Structure 1
Amino acid sequence: MKFSAKLIWKLVTLLFFAGNVLLLILIIISGTTQHYPVNRFYWVEADTTGIPNASTLTRWTFWGACDRVNDKTVCSQNLSPAYPISPVDNFNTHENVPHRFISERDAYYYLSRFAFCFFWIALAFVGISFILFILTWVSGTLLQVVFILMGFGCVFNVCAVVLQTAVTVMTKSAFHGDDRHSKIGASLMGIAWASVFVSIWEFVSVAFWYTSRKLREYYEGSSLTEKHHNNFFHRDNEPLNVPEPLMSPDAYSPVPNINMSNDNNGPMINPSGVTNNETLGSPNLPIVQEPITTPLPAVVPAEESRHKGINFFTIRRSHKPNPDDVSV
């Protein structure tokens, strides 16, 4: 059941990719052909009666200003890329042009031209993402590339539609302010906002799959690391059956217990190894000796004594006699 839901989601995302590419292509080819339904696509229609070099009704498409004939968009040979929605620049005149197009010319000019460029950039990113998304079904390593490309494609697609919508609404308001008929092309504007919706869906879906893949790789990598640490050479969490040494490498070796009693009236040996006769010259004098302090071996905690591989211990013995041990 889980696999089926995942497959369905991927298929829906794939269809949205294809639909987004198709919608952007329909926007870009508006004004380039007289065939249905492309000849019904336009951004805004306005009454341009009385404006020199303009027809009675003018429709602005993606590639330029066209005439309306029998509810069809008929475009001349004056089409050009990044054609602005600006009657002052379109018809090369200020006569009978609504005042807003003259006073706010830069706003209309640059909004429409930037929207033209952004549509092309969005199509490039979305189209490449669509092709690579198909390849992600074979190789999941391309998912990160699709995520980055679709992020840029979504941003440019949204920006292009927002800019185009702004200049279209401003154009309609400018003609209405001059008591002229004007309306927005519902078909082309609907296609533009539909492309925004599907582009956002695609980006969210790709982001979801990319994040899920990264989290899965992270947790799988953590489990593999734990398994690696618990192998033959890394037994940190396993109890050892071999008794742990209780002596550190720097500890002194224990000194054997020397019997200091003189039960047999023989020469008594002090810790320095010299008899009492040799030291004092007389066996009748008492011998004052300091108590023998035997250094205890340093106890190493079991956690610190566990080392990887083989432990080598070096036991150092002190051969230098203590001057305090000399008898008085």
Structure 2
Amino acid sequence: MAAGRLISLLATLFLSVSLLLLWFTLLSGITSTSPLRQTYFLRADTSGITGARSISQWTYFRICGLDNADCGPARPGLPLGDAWASDADGVPDGLIGGYGDGTTSHEYWYMWRFGWVFYLIALFFMTCAFLGSWLACLGRLGAGLIATVSSVGLLFLSVAVALMTATFVKTRNAFVSDERSAELGAYGFGFSWGSWAAMFVATVLFCVARRGHASDGVGRSSKRWSGSTFGRRKSSGTAGSRRSWDGRRVKDEYA
């Protein structure tokens, strides 16, 4: 199998792993089955906060209780402060403000909202790259096209994961500073960063596959050129020998 085609298949494998991990991240909180039941971005002690559960877990679509049970309604673009009531008392400093019906400060509102949007844009480009990944097996042009689409998906995924990380690390620090227990979700962060790592490898491999297809093409062209040149030389040599032999025979006959 040509090197470019083999590398393209390997890149597609990493891309499919990246998509799978990203779906695990996005569907967290939707069902109680594993591993989605264990997937959340942040778990914090919200006892004593107006309208909040004793323990709150932030997932992609919902705010849930312990082990992603007792979840609120699923909705897109969830504000960070959806875990408590409007103008609630007892919220750590910096988290509450006038956004999201008086539940979220402008900093956390925009950080998480933009992170959510970039996740969706990354998902779109990653899906396009996956559906068209067979083009990368056909030749240099196809591999270059998929490498470009994959690079765009990687860019948006990088921004999404970075914003998610910044949002919930800062939120955890705010709870800890308020002397409340808080911890980051190992599954949520693991799936997100694992998806990014697999996407990074896939993008690099698609770029390498493009060069692999180019090398395969150069090798085949060199063989064809060498074969045709050798054939012409052999033919020329044979014709020259025939002309030389015929010339000597005619000369001998007239001698």
Query: Partner of 1:199 in structure 2?
Result: 199
1:85 and 2:83 correspond: no
User: Aligned equivalents of 2:16 and 2:92: distance in 1?
Assistant: 41
Q: Structure 1 regions of 5+ residues with no counterpart? A: 225-328
Counting aligned pairs with the same residue, the percent is 26
Q: Partners of 1:55 and 1:90 in 2: how far apart? A: 8
CA shift for structure 1 position 147: 1.6
What is the distance in 1 between the residues matched to 2:139 and 2:2?
19
Partner of 2:96: 102
Taking structure 1 as reference, are residues 160 and 171 closer, same or farther at Cα in structure 2, changes over 3 Å only?
same
Q: More deviation in 133-142 or 188-197? A: 133-142
Quick check: 1:118 aligned with 2:118? Answer: yes
Q: Distance in 1 between matches of 2:109 and 2:19?
A: 27
Q: CA-to-partner distance for each residue in 1:191-247, whole Å, 9 max, x for gaps?
A: 11111111111111111222444577689999x9xxxxxxxxxxxxxxxxxxxxxxx
Structure 1 counterpart SS, 2:116? helix
SS at match of 2:68: strand
Query: Offset of 1:141 from its aligned partner?
Result: 3.6
Deviation of 1:140 (Å): 5.1
Q: What CA deviation, in whole Å up to 9, does each residue of 1:55-114 have, x standing for no partner?
A: 10000000121111xxx2115342210113236x85212311111213792221111111
Corresponding position: 1:61 with 2:59: yes
Deviation at 1:144, TM superposition (A): 2.6
TM-score computed with the length of structure 2 as normaliser: 0.76
Q: Which has the larger radius of gyration?
A: 1
Query: How much has 1:13 moved relative to structure 2?
Result: 1.7
Q: Match for 2:50 among 49, 52, 75?
A: 52
Once the two structures are superposed, the pairs formed by residues 26-37 of structure 1 within 5 Å of their partners are 26-37=24-35
Q: Which residue of 2 aligns with 1:159?
A: 159
Distance 2:131 2:74 in 1: 31
1:58 maps to a residue whose letter is: S
Q: Which has the higher contact order (CA 8 A, sep 6+)?
A: 2
TM-score by length of 1: 0.60
Query: Which letter maps to 2:51?
Result: N
Equivalent residue of 1:46, what SS?
strand
SS at match of 1:91: coil
CA contact (8 A) 1:48 1:57 kept: yes
Alignment of 1:224-303 (within 5 A): none
Bigger proportion of residues as helix = 2
2:143 matches 1:148: no
- Corresponding residue SS for 1:59: strand
Aligned equivalent of 1:76: 71
Give the partner amino acid of 1:26: F
- 2:95 is paired with a residue of what secondary structure? helix
Would you say the 8 A contact 1:16–1:198 is kept in 2?
A: yes
Provide the residue aligned with 1:20 in structure 2.
18
Runs of 4+ in 1 over 3 A off after TM superposition: 3-11, 138-141, 211-222
Residues 136 and 143, structure 1, Cα contact 8 Å, conserved in 2: yes
How far is 1:119 from its partner?
Answer: 1.1
User: Partners in 2 of 1:147 and 1:194 — Cα distance?
Assistant: 19
> How many Å apart are 1:9 and its aligned residue?
3.4
CA distance in 1 between partners of 2:162 and 2:218 (Å):
39
RMSD, aligned α-carbons: 2.9
Q: Number of paired residues?
A: 219
Structure 2 vs 1, CA of residues 10 and 212 (structure 1 numbering), >3 Å: closer, same or farther? closer
Letter in 1 for 2:65: D
Report the equivalent of 1:42.
Answer: 40
